[in-house]
Amino acid sequence: MSHGKRKRRQASGVGPEAPELNIMPFIDIFSMLNTFLLVSASFLGLGIIEVQVPFLSNSPELKDLPQRSFVVKVDIDEPGITLVTQWTAPPVDKVEKTFKLNPVEIAQFHDEMIAVRTKVPENDKVDVRVESMIEYEQLVLVLDAIKSLKETDPPLNLPVKDDDPKNRARGSYLFEKVVLGSVIL
Amino acid sequence: MSSAGGDSGESLSLNLTPMLDIFSILVTFLLMSYSTDPTNHDVDANLELPDSVTLVSMDEVPSIVVNRKEILVNNKPIVTLENGKVPAAESSQGAIPALYKALKEIADTNKQALIELRGSDAGEKKAKPGEITVEMDKKHKFDLVKAVLRSGQQAEFITYKLLVAKPSVD
């Protein structure tokens, strides 16, 4: 505190000098905290998208397979995305839709995938085939549209298979199993 | 205002309030964006990850890194790429033999560790196919992705966790 102020306060005759807060320890703590946080902060969040490739197994065939199951296939090539849905037994009800590889139509494709999942909630598997010249970035965009549920999407009330916390964390998946079929073809 | 260096006896007074303001805002921002993810990983300098809206966080450090120049397994260079492609000499039937060999070693090590952990009876049962994390540059073509995944599939890895960049502040 400067002498000038002290003189003025004393001259006013109000009373004893006002207490002064020592903020130096406060600044010390802030400096240390800042340094620690800046060094340990990660400014790029890292996530994962889980995909599978077909695998040949010599384990015995499953006996309780349903007679009629729902199949979802997605083809990604230069013109765009082709979505095919159908049942494995009559009535097949085959539906084919195409979308271009741009953000607007990928968003429409995502909405269509939500409609497909809502129609048959039991099916959580999508078979994806990708053309060789497609960039990895475009593949990830389409995988996002297939797998990830956004915060703005409507709640789907999907069936939960068990109480495994790992599965609960995966509740943000629209389709959990994405198989990249073209890897072995 | 105090005089600087004069012999009037007045001391200099630094106004620390603006500095405290800045520090408070900075600490608040850093604490809010602070990540408590247990896995910390520095992305390879020679690659750019694709953006994604996935909410699932990385849970293990990538084993396969495919940057713009080469393919690495556990930070060990395996194949050098030519214009983003695997050289013909390094490729066989759509797979990469050197990558397959490196991944097979990992798969065998994992299998051995499982046997040691659970006893010898675990080795008799067919081990469950493994999963592996892949970090790849966003501009690579699917041709290269396919070669990497096919090599891994032959080494009994069927689940792949593709590393992506997600929005930093949730």
Domains of chain A: residue spans and CATH: 70-155+162-183 (3.30.420)
- The answer to whether the CB atoms of B164 and A53 lie below 8 A apart is no
Give residue A166's pLDDT. Answer: 53
Chain B neighbors of A146, CB-CB under 8 A: none
pLDDT tens track of chain A, all 185 residues?
444 444 444 445 556 777 878 888 888 888 888 888 888 776 677 888 999 998 776 666 666 667 788 999 999 998 899 999 999 888 888 999 999 999 999 999 999 999 999 988 888 899 999 999 999 999 999 999 999 888 788 877 776 655 555 555 555 688 989 999 877 76
Q: Count of H helices and E strands in chain B?
A: 4, 5
B41 contacts: CB under 8 Å, gap ≥ 6: A46, B58, B61, B62
Give residue B161's pLDDT. Answer: 92
The radius of gyration of chain A's CA atoms, rounded to the nearest angstrom, is 30
The more confident residue out of A18 and B51 is B51
Give residue B3's pLDDT. Answer: 46
pLDDT tens-digit series, residues A87-136: 988 888 899 999 999 999 999 999 999 999 998 888 889 999 999 999 99
> Out of A26, A136, A149, whose CB is closest to B142?
A136
Between the two ends of chain A, the Cα-to-Cα distance in Å is: 80
Give residue A154's pLDDT. Answer: 81
Alpha carbons B129 and B159: distance in angstroms, whole number? 8
- The answer to whether the CB atoms of B142 and A130 lie below 8 A apart is yes
> Out of B9, B145, B159, whose CB is closest to A136?
B145
**Mean pLDDT within B103-129:** 74
Give me the sheet containing B64-66, strands edge to edge. Answer: A95-100, A80-87, A70-76, A125-130, A177-180, A45-52, B157-166, B130-136, B64-66, B70-73, B76-80
pLDDT tens-digit series, residues B64-110: 999 999 999 998 999 999 988 999 999 988 899 999 999 999 988 88
Residue B125 in this model has a pLDDT that exceeds 60:
no
Alpha carbons B128 and B158: distance in angstroms, whole number? 10
Q: Is A179 on the interface with B (CB under 8 A)?
A: no
The more confident residue out of B11 and B110 is B110
Give residue A114's pLDDT. Answer: 93
- Residue spans per domain, chain B: 64-162
- Residue pair A25/B125 in contact (Cβ under 8 Å)? The answer is no
Chain A neighbors of B54, CB-CB under 8 A: 47-49, 144, 147-148, 172
